[in-house]
Amino acid sequence: MRHTVQIGVISLLIVSFSTIAAAQMTGNVDRLKADVHGIDLDRAVAAASALGSLTKDPRARDALMGALTLGAPPKLVTALIEALGQHSDPKALNLLRHYVGHRNVRVRVAALVGIANLKTPIVEQVLISVLGDSNPMVRARAARLLGERSARKAQHALFKMLGRGDKSAAAPLGKVGGVEAARQLAEMIGSADNDAIATALGEMLKRKDFGPDPLRLQVVKALSKIPGPGATAAMLEYIASVPEKDIRISKRIAEQIVANRQK
């Protein structure tokens, strides 16, 4: 009986502490907002991060948007954008799009990531428009985010990016490209960066939605025409990605090609 009472008391204390902590977090929005606008930059950055964690409190989101509207040093702006991205609120779209054009590269990248978190159909359109950014880091992040979203509509823009010699488009292109993309990549062998082509084709092969196997076999044959470790690595990764019980001619041919290369 005594143990039962103790357990009950402990449970009540845990619930009480949780309730108090939640109330304190919500009540702290005003204090955190004041810290964001204070003169201590490190404290302002920490306050921005704390506001980002309060995703169930619209006042925290409003505080972040208000601070971004006023502007701040790049370090704080980056923290504010990263925090706002945690809220995933479409209302932040226009504000984040504004910061995609910021002079600071880290701010631009943070804005892109924040936009990618939003649940609105315009996200992919915004990311595609950034593939022509002047900074390679920004372009690479936009391409990566499009690849992670399997954004099929980005295929043409990624091809253009790869054609300009930007190899950061290769893996994302492999994640979004289809049959026609595979054919075009195969035709580019020898006239473009072979390692980039191998990366793109290798990413295609690893996708569960890429097939059927005769198409995968054609990609394997295209990779076999590319000399060097890049194509070999792409085939090895493909081989490793296929479940043991999945009998594929494309896998068997890839194994033969790799074995011949390793002799």
Domain boundaries, the chain: 32-98, 178-263
Contact predicate 99/68, CB 8 Å: yes
pLDDT, residue 262, reads 85
d(C-alpha 115, C-alpha 19), whole Å: 33
pLDDT, residue 190, reads 87
Contact predicate 171/148, CB 8 Å: no
* Beta carbons within 8 Å of 37's beta carbon, 6+ residues apart: 44, 67, 70
pLDDT per residue as tens, the chain (263 positions) = 444 445 444 443 443 333 334 434 445 899 999 999 999 999 999 999 999 999 999 999 999 999 999 989 999 999 999 999 999 999 999 999 999 999 999 999 999 999 999 988 899 999 999 999 999 999 999 999 999 999 999 999 999 999 999 999 999 999 999 999 999 999 999 888 999 999 999 999 999 999 999 999 999 999 999 999 999 999 999 999 999 889 999 999 999 999 999 87
DSSP state of 103: S
Q: Tell me: the pLDDT tens digits for 171-201?
A: 999 999 999 999 999 999 988 899 999 999 9
219-223 long-range CB contacts below 8 Å, 24 or more apart?
219/182, 219/186, 219/250, 220/250, 220/253, 220/254, 220/257, 221/253, 222/182, 222/185, 222/186, 222/189, 223/198, 223/254, 223/257
Handedness of CA 103, 111, 173, 204 (dihedral sign): positive
At position 62, the amino acid (one-letter code) is D
Q: Tell me: the pLDDT tens digits for 221-230?
A: 999 999 999 9
Chain position carrying tokens 């357990």:
7
pLDDT, residue 14, reads 42
d(C-alpha 179, C-alpha 94), whole Å: 35
